[in-house]
């Protein structure tokens, strides 16, 4: 197949970064520093065992909101069920669960340092797409051409071979995409924390402008930016920019569309596209990140979190859903980070049989987790309890 190449030159999507002499650059630098400080403070305040459990929940949250932006609503409770191979009998819901499971797997791969090259490297971008779509249901691997109604197959990890239009934006020719991706990677391989954090926002739009794939560009862009922020800030996956973008979806898409606009006069940078629009989107993106870090920090304040969890436990004990004194075990885990199974009998002041019964009940409820039958017990953050433990993280829904 001959892939159409219009011969476009890479200056068509300049500037790729907000320049140092841009009017907005000083305020953007201040936002970067505020984000770095907030993220570092939040990260340092969480014990390792708590952070690990929280990251598992945030993956489901990130997946939920990223897919919601694309019009696919799969609640984190259903996402967690998919991770346990517990799928709905409804074919539509099952397909959404399979899609979500693939997204979670990609983020886990990122979190385990699966990216051997920087997130903006063309090979990384292609691999993100391949991993998102390689396990997708067949129904999600076909899109309809809006002009011809032709059904077109989306090939995992393959760049598009035809022209596309997104809203008013007509993307570059398919043959030009590889050289534009190479230019992106070169432009975003910058030293320094400020530049690398700014790049996470700027690259987000420029990848969407290139639109290298037939479908899935939004998901890839959000995962790419997630990976860039994770490297620049050592976020440990403890907060989700996708949540903030989804909650302000109209503004998000308005900013992205504005970044497609051409340069507006001599005071609007030196490239073909508007630097002022890119700066406005970058500021929007950074404020979203700061809001999400602060939101998660407020949820995870030890005194407030412990109180919410222990109130939940007492209510479940009163309702007969948990054995008496289960809250004592939870309290020990909350204050110590983890406990050995052999310590539970002493905590309860009860028999070995009672200790096993309480342990089993808390594991079944999802409040605790353990790597094996002999491993220490740690706090877990199941989606089904998030409404009580971490209110506002995502919309509530009965399990």
**pLDDT bucket at 94, cuts 50 / 70 / 90:** very high
| Residue where a domain terminates, one of 241, 266, 299 | 299
CA distance 360 to 375: 14
* Percent residues over pLDDT 70 in the chain: 99
Shared-domain flag, residues 275 and 333: no
DSSP-based three-state secondary structure for 40: helix
- Report yes or no on 7 lying in a domain: no
Do 28 and 76 share a structural domain? Answer: yes
pLDDT for 100 beyond 80: yes
All residues at 6 or more sequence positions from 247 whose CB lies less than 8 Å from its CB, including other chains = 65
The pLDDT score that the predictor gives to residue 147 is 77
Q: What mean pLDDT comes out for the span 161-189?
A: 95
What pLDDT, in 10s, does the model give residues 43-86?
A: 998 888 899 999 999 999 999 999 999 999 999 999 999 989 99
Position 396 pLDDT exceeds 70: yes
pLDDT band at 109 (very low <50, low <70, confident <90, very high): very high
Q: Is the pLDDT of residue 211 over 70?
A: yes
Q: Which two tokens stand for residue 69?
A: 């932006």
Q: What is the CATH number of the domain that holds 375?
A: 1.10.10.10
108 part of a folded domain = yes
Burial (CB count <10 Å: 0-12, 13-18, 19+), residue 216? buried
Which of 280, 299, 318 is where one domain is finished? 299
CATH number at residue 141: 1.10.3290.10
What local confidence, expressed as pLDDT, does residue 360 receive? 96
**Domain co-membership, 26 together with 113:** yes
Q: Name the nearest CA neighbour of 5 among 159, 224, 135, 207.
A: 159
Q: Are residues 101 and 158 in the same domain?
A: yes
Tokens 């230019």 appear where? Answer: 183
Do residues 245 and 332 both lie within one domain?
A: no
| 235 touches 200 (CB < 8 A) | no
pLDDT at 128 exceeding the cut of 60: yes
| Residue 398 pLDDT | 57
Asked if residue 321 and residue 295 are part of one domain, the reply reads no
Domain total for the chain? 2
HSE-CB at 63 with a 13 A cutoff on CA atoms is: 30
Predicted structure pTM score: 0.94
Q: What is residue 192's predicted lDDT score, i.e. its pLDDT?
A: 87
Q: How confident is the model at residue 144 (pLDDT cuts 50, 70, 90)?
A: confident
Q: Are residues 294 and 318 in the same domain?
A: no
Are residue 27 and residue 161 in the same domain, yes or no?
A: yes
Q: What mean pLDDT is predicted for residues 342-359?
A: 95
User: Are residue 192 and residue 62 in the same domain, yes or no?
Assistant: yes
Is 65 part of any domain?
yes
Q: Is the same domain home to 279 and 335?
A: no
Q: Are residues 351 and 385 in the same domain?
A: yes
Q: Is residue 398 part of a domain?
A: no
Residue 181: closest CA among 123, 118, 116: 123
Provide the domain limits for residue 373.
302-389
Contact between 213 and 159 under an 8 Å Cβ cutoff? The reply is yes
CA distance 314 to 319: 9
Q: Does 176 map to a domain?
A: yes
How many other β-carbons are positioned within 10 Å of the β-carbon of residue 141? Answer: 16
Short-list 10, 23, 28, 19, CA closest to 272: 10
Q: Is residue 14 part of a domain?
A: no
| Average per-residue pLDDT for the chain | 94
- What is the reported pLDDT for 333? 95
pLDDT band at 226, cuts 50/70/90? Answer: very high
In a domain, 196, yes or no: yes
Give the residue-averaged pLDDT of 117-140. 94
Q: Are 293 and 311 contained in the same domain? A: no
The answer to whether the Cα torsion of 185, 188, 193, 198 is positive or negative is: negative
Query: Which pLDDT belongs to residue 27?
Result: 98
The radius of gyration of the chain's CA atoms, rounded to the nearest angstrom, is 23
Mean pLDDT of 147-163: 91
Question: Please, which pLDDT band fits residue 1 given cuts at 50, 70 and 90?
Answer: confident
End of a domain among 249, 266, 299? 299
């Amino acid at each position: 197949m001959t892939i159409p190449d219009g011969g476009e030159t890479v200056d068509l999507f300049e500037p790729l970064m907000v320049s140092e002499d841009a009017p907005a650059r000083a305020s953007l630098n201040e936002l970067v520093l505020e984000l770095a400080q907030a993220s570092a403070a939040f990260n340092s305040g969480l014990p390792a065992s708590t952070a690990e459990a929280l990251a598992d929940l945030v993956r489901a949250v990130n997946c939920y909101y990223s897919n919601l932006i694309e019009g696919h609503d799969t609640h984190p409770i259903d996402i967690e069920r998919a991770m346990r191979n517990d799928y709905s009998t409804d074919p539509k819901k099952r397909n959404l669960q399979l899609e979500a499971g693939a997204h979670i797997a990609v983020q886990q791969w990122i979190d385990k340092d699966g990216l051997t090259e920087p997130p903006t490297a063309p090979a990384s971008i292609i691999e993100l797409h391949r991993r998102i779509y390689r396990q997708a249901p067949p129904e999600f691997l076909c899109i309809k051409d809006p002009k011809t109604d032709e059904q077109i197959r989306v090939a995992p990890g393959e760049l598009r071979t035809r022209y596309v239009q997104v809203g008013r934006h007509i993307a570059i020719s398919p043959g030009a995409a590889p050289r534009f991706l190479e230019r992106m990677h070169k432009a975003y391989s910058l030293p320094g924390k400020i530049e690398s954090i700014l790049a996470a926002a700027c690259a987000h739009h420029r990848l969407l402008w290139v639109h290298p794939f037939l479908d899935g560009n939004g998901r890839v862009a959000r995962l790419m930016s997630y990976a860039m922020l994770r490297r620049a800030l050592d976020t440990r996956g403890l907060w989700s920019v996708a949540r903030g973008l989804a909650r302000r979806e109209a503004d998000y898409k308005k900013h992205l569309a504005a970044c497609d606009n051409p340069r507006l006069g001599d005071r609007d940078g030196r490239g073909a596209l508007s630097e002022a629009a890119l700066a406005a989107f970058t500021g929007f993106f950074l404020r979203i990140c700061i809001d999400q870090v602060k939101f998660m920090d407020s949820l995870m304040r030890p005194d407030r979190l412990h109180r919410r969890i222990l109130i939940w436990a007492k209510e479940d004990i009163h309702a007969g859903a948990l054995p008496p004194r289960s809250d004592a075990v939870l309290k020990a885990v909350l204050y110590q980070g983890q406990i050995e199974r052999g310590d539970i009998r002493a905590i309860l002041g009860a028999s070995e049989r009672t200790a096993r019964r309480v342990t089993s009940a808390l594991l079944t409820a999802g409040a605790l987790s353990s790597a094996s039958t002999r491993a220490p017990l740690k706090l877990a953050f199941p989606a089904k309890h998030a409404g009580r433990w971490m209110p506002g993280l995502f919309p509530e829904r009965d399990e």
